[in-house]
Each structure stands twice: as structure tokens, then as C-alpha cells.
Amino acid sequence: MKNADKETYQRMINSGFVIGLHSYTHNAKKLYRKKDPTFIHEMSRERDDFEKLSGIRTNLIRAPYGSTYLTDKQIKETKQNGFRLVDWNIDSNDWRYGSGNTERIYQNVLSQVNAYEGSNEPLVILFHEHKNTLDALPKVIKMLRDKGYVFQAYHENETLHQNFKKDPNL
């Protein structure tokens, strides 16, 4: 959040990007611990701080390590606090690979995309901000377009909810 200003965020929104929350610490031992987990607190703080900085309020969360680590109580609290969780159904595993392994990223995504062939399920692909990922993306994007996929941002008020952990009260 500290690397951009209000105008930059507004340009992103105007260009069709959607901004979500991901936590302050990215520390699973704090976010998901049994006693006094920080997940809701961190997301609320990040949402409020981002709104002050950017003028944009977002309720979209991509939980670090996925929603599978949230307890049923945290899922319920997340919803009660107005947040919307989204996970991925394809993991590029880009975080596993060292430099020069763009082909492994591509092949990993390709094999998972092929597993969804024939289904109508939208693909939500997990990537991280690594050089390998940036290097692999042109080939990944071309492959997806060649297979007929189109790209669109997910908005928090839409119905797609790819979650590892379901709210038992829904």
C-alpha cells in the first residue's frame, strides 16, 4: 500500500483492476492460531487503512495460504464483517521455483487447465509477484487465449466464490 498514491489506485480501478486485501503480516502462525487469531483484525485494519490512503473501500480478501486455514468461526466473522473471500482453483506453484524455471510454471498451469477442459468452471489462477512469473505469463496468457478463455476481474459483488473452506451457515 505504501508504494502508490490515491491517483495510482484510482487509475487502476478505472482500468478495470480490482483491489483486494491479503493481510499485513502474511504470518499463518498469527493469522490462524487457535488462541486470539489476528485474521479479522488484520483484514479490518488493512481495509480501513487502504480506504484512508486510496479513497477506495474493498471487502475482497484472498486469504494467505487460502481459506482452508480459517475456522468455521472465522468464516462466519469474515462474512459478518462484510468481507468476501476468494481462493484459487489453479496454483501455478511459482513460489516453489527458483529463477529460470518459467517453463515449470507454464507446464504446471497447463496441466491444471487441461484438467478443467470441458467444464464451465471459471479458472482462478494463483500467481505471485516473482520474476519467473512475469517471464512465464506471456506464454500462459497465449495458451489460455488459444483455448478460448477470456480474462476478467472478479468483483466482490459477483456470485463466483471459489473457497476452500465453506461457511457452514450458508
- Span 2-31, pLDDT tens digits: 567 888 888 888 888 889 999 999 999 999
pLDDT of residue 43: 96
pLDDT of residue 170: 44
pLDDT of residue 2: 54
Q: Report, as ranges of residue numbers, the positions in the chain whose pLDDT lies below 70.
A: 1-3, 159-163, 165-170
For the chain, the domains span 6-85, 90-146
pLDDT of residue 146: 97
Distance from chain centroid for Cα 162: 10
pLDDT of residue 83: 93
pTM of the predicted protein model? 0.84
Task: Write the class of the CATH domain 6-85.
Answer: alpha beta
pLDDT of residue 97: 84
Backbone angles phi, psi at 139, to 5 degrees: -70, -40
In a 3-state reduction of DSSP, which class is residue 61?
Answer: strand
Q: Percentage helix, strand, coil, to 5, in the chain?
A: 45, 5, 50
pLDDT of residue 37: 94
